[in-house]
Amino acid sequence: MDKDQDKILDEVTTGEYKYGFHSDIESEQIQKGLSEDVVRIISAKKNEPDWLLEFRLKAYRHWLTMKMPAWPNLKIPVINYQDIIFYSAPKQKPKLNSLDEIDPELKRTFDKLGIPLEEQKHLAGVAVDAVMDSVSVKTTFREALAEMGIIFCSFSDAVHEYPDLVKRYMGTVVPYTDNFFASLNSAVFSDGSFCYIPKGVRCPMELSTYFRINAANTGQFERTLLVADEESYVSYLEGCTAPSRDENQLHAAIVEIIAEKNSEVKYSTVQNWYPGDKDGKGGIFNFVTKRGMCRGENSKISWTQIETGSAITWKYPSCILRGDNSTGEFYSVAVTNNHQQADTGTKMIHIGKNTKSTIVSKGISAGKGQNSYRGLVKILKNASNARNFSQCDSLLLGDKCGAHTFPYLEVDNQTAIVEHEATTSKIGEDQIFYCNQRGISTEDAIGMIVNGYAREVINKLPMEFAVEAQKLLQISLEGSVG
Amino acid sequence: MLDINNLKVSIAGKSILKGVSLHVKPGEIHAIMGPNGSGKSTLASVLTGREFAEVTEGTVTYMGNNLLEMSPEDRAKEGIFLGFQYPIEIPGVSMVNFMKTAVNEKRKHHGLDPLSASDFLKMMREKKELVEIDSKLANRSVNEGFSGGEKKKNEIFQMAMLEPKLAILDETDSGLDIDALRIVANGVNKLKKADNSFIVITHYQRLLDHIIPDVVHVLYDGRIVKTAGKELALELEAKGYDWIKKEVENNVIA
Ligand SMILES: Nc1ncnc2c1ncn2[C@@H]1O[C@H](COP(=O)(O)OP(=O)(O)OP(=O)(O)O)[C@@H](O)[C@H]1O
Ligand SMILES: [Mg+2]
């Protein structure tokens, strides 16, 4: 029986990464390496105002004083920042007929990824900002949204068109001093999405950003800033993929969310960066700082993440619950297969009164994958009647993988109610056989059982993406069993 | 339909079935009785392809094919159904999704298109009525939080959905109240046709009051030691297994 288990476990590795192709697109790159000059070059390429260059330089100088965090439960190889190209932009063919036209090869790439850039072809009700390497190549439905006062554009455009908004909010949730990777991003970030929902507006479509790394030896450092003004609502989704390469590539992003009084932001991620091959060669290092601030009372920020890709994931989408009665939520499914490592979780910082947070984390480990949940619940002195509920479940497929939980709790107010539940389980042979006996193959059975396990989280995704996420979970675990 | 010849099976090196022969024709109902631990569930495990039951000798032919060479899911798709003695819970997987996958996998195997959502739901509805299962059970996750009896009824419902050629019911009657027992028995009787067969594993005559078997076998210590008509069940009910054990021992001595 053990032999059989080994055989099946071996097949884990047959699950192929479906987005590993590379597109032959000419790109404009700067020399590799990082220095103050490089920061200036990036800023100049983007034609940035002085205040932004200053921000970058301050961040860069601060970064030089910092060290990479050593506390995550991860084995991270040494990263040589002088070997990375910090800016790479697909070369746009000399201007075509209209301003809106984009290079056909770029279009083909995004078509292949299932992200058509023509508005009429896209899923109804989803607007997309498509980012390749260091720049945004197209934002759909910009005009339609603008009619409602919604701003949805690339970060670079926002810097030029809405400098006041960017200046007012950028760095207020994740300061450039926040952590090693946040400082790095603040110095060299290239593009990303900007979104502003004005007072009283319910955004009628899903907004989404699709990140694609294409060029070799480059890093991607994007920044997303999302502001929901009073009484507004928006649901936002990001997806990402990269070609299969033997070298590791660095992705260090920042996402900042600001939710004003009575507003609600749903932020969903389907992370499918190249995870590396079955021997652990290659793959994306995904070191991301995501944080939301519930500034106004009754505001709500909800993070949902399906993490199936990346060689190493280090991310803790968090909520600062400053407004009274504000709510933070974190729903996560993280898969580690083969040699993937993930150290992910959340921080819920309760500052306001009657603030509520919910954490549901579902780790799935297969192959030799290592999966850690790390979560902090902090209740400050004035946060009376704060409530938190945390549930951290781990599912193991096979016996060569690992699951770890690191919950931290700091409570400075007696009236707080904090609950924590944790479980670890294995997919049972009994469950698989039960499915087999009904005519369902082992592969499909595992997909079904894993999706059942993750259902609570998947249900939080926008409908259109829940189906995709289910397929992705199944693919990323193809063949694995315990 | 099913021909088992001199089947010997061991689990973890220990011999459990010690030469079982059994022949089931289309349209027949066979009952298998026998004391705890005699190997009844093990027989069901072998027929459905559980790995831990290792076949050391003998043959099993199902509809002309070597059953032992088929994968568990192929056996299922070729019409073998097991009503589990202990049905398994699968949290988060809805009965609808589970059954839809099972039904469509089977259809695919037989070259049929998958059922449309509406046709499938119609089928669910019909079968639910046929086996009188509570509508709500079918909307929940597979067996999750079901009571013992509900799990057993759910097995019968799945059997109705999958319309097997050979259904093996492993103590589907234990743990059932009187009404549920009638429901399960009625379910079997309604699904019974001229060309499908049942192997009913049970400890109690009361099930056989409702499901009339053509043949009753007694499995004792890994062997079928007695085969007779339905009256054998009554005799066992009245006298227990001791007299069979004695007979067997005398035979061995003689
Ligand atoms: N997975 C297993 N590992 C080890 N021994 C097993 C296993 N399954 C069954 N056995 C043993 O095989 C023998 C036959 O068990 P089996 O379950 O087939 O009996 P049964 O006739 O169905 O009994 P019951 O009437 O109690 O259901 C028992 O001694 C049991 O302990
Ligand atoms: Mg049994």
Q: What is the pLDDT of residue A8?
A: 39
Tokens 């984009």 correspond to A102
Which residues in chain B touch residue A443, judged by CB atoms under 8 angstroms apart? none
Q: Is the shortest distance between the CB of B93 and ligand 1 below 6 Å? A: no
Q: Which of A435, A446, A450 to mutate to test the interface with B (most CBs of B within 10 A)?
A: A435
The residue assigned the tokens 């190249």 is: A274
Which ligand is nearest the CA of B50, by number?
Answer: 1
Q: Compare all CA atoms of chain A with the CA of B99 and give the residue at the minimum distance.
A: A438
Residue A7 has pLDDT above 70, yes or no: no
Radius of gyration of chain B from Cα atoms?
18
Task: Give the domain ranges of chain B.
Answer: 2-83+148-241
Which ipTM did the prediction report?
0.95
pLDDT band at A373 (very low <50, low <70, confident <90, very high): very high
Instruction: List residues of chain B with CB under 8 Å from any CB of chain A.
Output: 48-52, 71-73, 76-77, 81-82, 84, 87-93, 97-98, 101-102, 105-106, 109, 141-142, 158, 162
The per-residue pLDDT of chain A, averaged, comes to: 85
Query: B51 in ligand 1 pocket by Cβ < 6 Å?
Result: no
Collect all residues of chain A within an 8 Å Cβ-Cβ radius of residue B48: 437
Distance (Å) from the C-alpha of residue A438 to the closest C-alpha of chain B? 6
- From the list A428, A437, A451, the residue facing B48 with the nearest CB is A437
Can you give the pTM of this predicted structure?
Answer: 0.82
* Structure confidence at residue B31 (pLDDT): 94
Give the pLDDT confidence score for residue A121 in this predicted structure.
Answer: 58
- Least confident range of A150-164, A175-189, A293-307, B226-240: B226-240
More confident residue, A97 or A322: A322
DSSP output for A220-233 = B-BEEEEEE-TT-E
**How high is the pLDDT of residue A263?**
98
CA nearest ligand 1 atom 24, residue: B36
Q: What pLDDT does residue B138 have?
A: 76
pLDDT at position A12 over 50 = no
Nearest CA in chain A to B144: A452
State if residue B9 touches ligand 1 by the CB under 6 angstroms criterion: no
**In angstroms, what separates the C-alpha of A171 from chain B's closest C-alpha?**
40
User: Nearest Cα to A379, choosing from A419, A343, A345?
Assistant: A419
| H helix or E strand, kind and range, residue B250 | helix B242-253
Q: Please say whether the structural domain B2-83+148-241 has been given the CATH code 3.10.20.340.
A: no
| Model confidence pLDDT, tens digit, residues A377-412 | 999 999 999 999 999 999 988 788 888 999 999 999
Please tell me which residue of chain A has the smallest CA distance to B74.
A439
Confidence of residue B252 (pLDDT cuts 50, 70, 90): low
B-chain CB neighbours of A455 within 8 Å are 92-93
In sequence order, the 6+-apart residues with CB closer than 8 A to the CB of B74 are B109
pLDDT tens digits for range B48-82: 999 889 999 999 999 999 999 999 999 999 999 99
**Which candidate in A433, A438, A460 is best for mutational testing of the B interface (most B CBs within 10 A)?**
A438
Residue A338 has pLDDT above 90, yes or no: no
Average pLDDT score over chain B = 91
Determine the pLDDT at residue A256.
Answer: 97
CA of B45 to the centre of ligand 1 (A): 10
Helices (H), A360-441: 429-436
| Beta bridge partner(s), residue A307 | A271, A334
- Residues sharing a CB contact under 8 Å with residue B95, sequence separation 6 or more, in sequence order: B137, B138, B139, B140, B141, B142, B154
